[in-house]
Every structure is written in C-alpha cells, then in structure tokens.
C-alpha cells in the first residue's frame, strides 16, 4: 500500500516522540500535530500547533493525507468527562474529518488497558470481550467502537493498536509481559499504515516477550523483534507479579487507582 503523506496527532507525547523520526525517514511528507509547539526534525516533516476540538479544526490538517495516526488524547486514568472529551470526542472528530477529506486509513491509539481485568495467567486475543481496568480503558472501548462504526458504515480502513508499555527497557515486573520497545512500536505502526486489505483491525502492539499476555495478530504482518526477558535479571519482583490471582493491569486494575485518579476519592 503506497504511503506518502501521514498526519501524526499527539506528536509531542511519549508515543509520538518515538514515532516522528522513523516515520519521517520513510515518508515523503509527515505532518506532526500537537497542542504543544514542535520543531521539525528534518526534511519532510512539517509541524502544526493545533487543538482537535472539532471536525472543522481537524479537516484542514488532514486534507490530502494518505493516512492519519491519531495519538492525541488523555493518556491515563482521569475523570470520565475529561476522557470523553479528549479520547472519545477527539477520535470522532478525527474519523469524521478523515471521512470528509477522503483519507483512506486511520490508525487509532487504543490501549492494553482495555483488557486489564483479565487474569495474568489467561492469554487474551483481540477478539475477546473487553474487561477494562478503569475508566481510561472504558474510553478506549469507545474509541474502538467508533473505529468499527466508521469502517462498517463508511468504508474507512481503521486499525486500532492496543499499545503495550512503551519504554526504552522494562523497569517493573509487569513490563516483562507488556513491554513494547521503541523499534517494535515503529514496526507495528508502519505495518498498520501500509498493510493492504485491512478493513477494521484491532491488534495488540507488544514486543515478543516470553511472558506476554496477549496474542499477536497475523493480519498486520509484523513480527516483533525484542523480548523483555533480556532484561529480566534487572527487574526484581517478577515471581510475585506472575503468581496466581494477579490481574493483567497490575496496579491499574486496583480500585484505589481509579478512585484516586478518576473519581477524586479514596477507598472506603
């Protein structure tokens, strides 16, 4: 699938910062967008400072693009109103702008926390029902549902990447299952942009970790290269984390995490 011009939203965030350089090297034109000011990383990259508050804000940014990688949004547990505004409505604005502008494909940032309440001992595929570990995960269920709607109803090609723990290297026991290396992150996104024949696809973006929770999707055609097990000797507490009864979301799946970060309360 030919890919020359891509719009990257949320380009100043943790995932966007990892993707800008590898995308710039492979594209004729990368348009990096964020509410924060950006500086172009080199030839072929253009930067835009913009809010994605409405379809009318997004459409001028995406006219003429082959695809959009939509990363902008609230990145963690937060009050539901903020998540609806930043993640659900923001995604709707991007999808609707893509439809109106005739953009062929949109890659959406979903999250592994959409299934964080499954047991750590249970392998999970993208076809299994969501079990979000908080209201942030709930917002990503809605994001994927919007993507499915636009694929089914309007013929837009939509890939939802359930992004793992993107870090330079694993730093805690859960990462031995959930780690996504920077080069595997770039590999998954490029596959999501260029793999032909995709209608709607939801897939986990995670490195080839020996202890990973999630099944990889062959439809994307990318096989990850890195394994968190390489770093296991530097990560204390792994045996306790992978014991019976642990949930895949780890601390994110605890009631206290949502109460403190999203509901403004404390455990009773």
- Domain boundaries, given as residue ranges, for the chain: 5-261
pLDDT tier, 206 (very low <50, low <70, confident <90, very high otherwise): very high
Strand partners, 158: 106, 200
Would you state the pLDDT for residue 262?
Answer: 82
DSSP of 2-36: ---EEEEESTTSHHHHHHHHHHHHH-SEEEEEESS
* Per-state percent for the chain, helix, strand, coil, to nearest 5: 40, 20, 40
User: Looking at residue 69, what DSSP letter applies?
Assistant: E
Measured CA to CA, the distance from residue 250 to residue 242 in angstroms comes to 10
The catalytic residue positions are 136
The pLDDT tens digits for 129-165 are 999 999 999 999 999 999 999 999 999 999 999 999 9
pTM: 0.96
The answer to whether 264 and 77 have CB atoms below 8 angstroms apart is: no
Q: What is the rounded average pLDDT of the residues 244-258?
A: 93
Would you state the pLDDT for residue 265?
Answer: 60
- CATH topology for 5-261? Rossmann fold (3.40.50)
Percent of the chain with pLDDT over 90: 92
User: Looking at residue 38, what DSSP letter applies?
Assistant: -
**Residue 238, pLDDT above cutoff 90:** no
**Residue 268, pLDDT above cutoff 60:** no
Measured CA to CA, the distance from residue 136 to residue 86 in angstroms comes to 11
Indicate the average pLDDT of the chain: 96
**Residue 266, pLDDT above cutoff 70:** no
């Amino acid at each position: 699938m030919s890919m020359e011009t891509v719009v990257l939203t949320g380009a100043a965030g943790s995932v966007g910062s990892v993707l800008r350089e590898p995308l710039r090297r492979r594209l004729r034109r990368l348009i990096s967008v964020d509410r924060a000011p950006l500086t172009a990383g080199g030839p072929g990259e253009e930067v835009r400072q913009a809010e994605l508050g409405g379809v009318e804000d997004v459409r001028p940014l995406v006219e003429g693009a082959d695809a959009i990688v939509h990363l902008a949004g609230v990145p963690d547990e937060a009050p539901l109103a903020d998540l609806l505004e930043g993640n659900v409505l923001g995604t709707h604005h991007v999808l609707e702008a893509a439809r109106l502008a005739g953009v062929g494909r949109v890659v959406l940032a979903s999250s592994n926390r959409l299934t964080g309440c499954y047991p750590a001992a249970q392998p999970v595929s993208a076809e299994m029902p969501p079990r979000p570990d908080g209201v942030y995960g709930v917002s990503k269920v809605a994001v994927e549902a919007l993507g499915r709607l636009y694929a089914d109803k309007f013929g837009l090609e939509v890939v939802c990447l359930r992004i793992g723990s993107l870090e330079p290297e694993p730093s805690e026991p859960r990462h031995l299952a959930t780690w996504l290396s920077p080069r595997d992150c770039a590999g998954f996104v490029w596959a999501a942009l260029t793999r032909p024949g995709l209608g709607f696809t939801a897939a986990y973006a995670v490195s080839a970790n020996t202890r990973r929770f999630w099944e990889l999707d062959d439809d994307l055609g990318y096989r990850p290269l890195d394994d968190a097990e390489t770093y296991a000797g530097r990560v204390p507490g792994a045996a306790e984390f992978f014991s019976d009864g642990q949930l895949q979301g780890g601390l994110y799946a605890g009631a206290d995490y949502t109460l403190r970060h999203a509901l403004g309360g404390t455990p009773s």
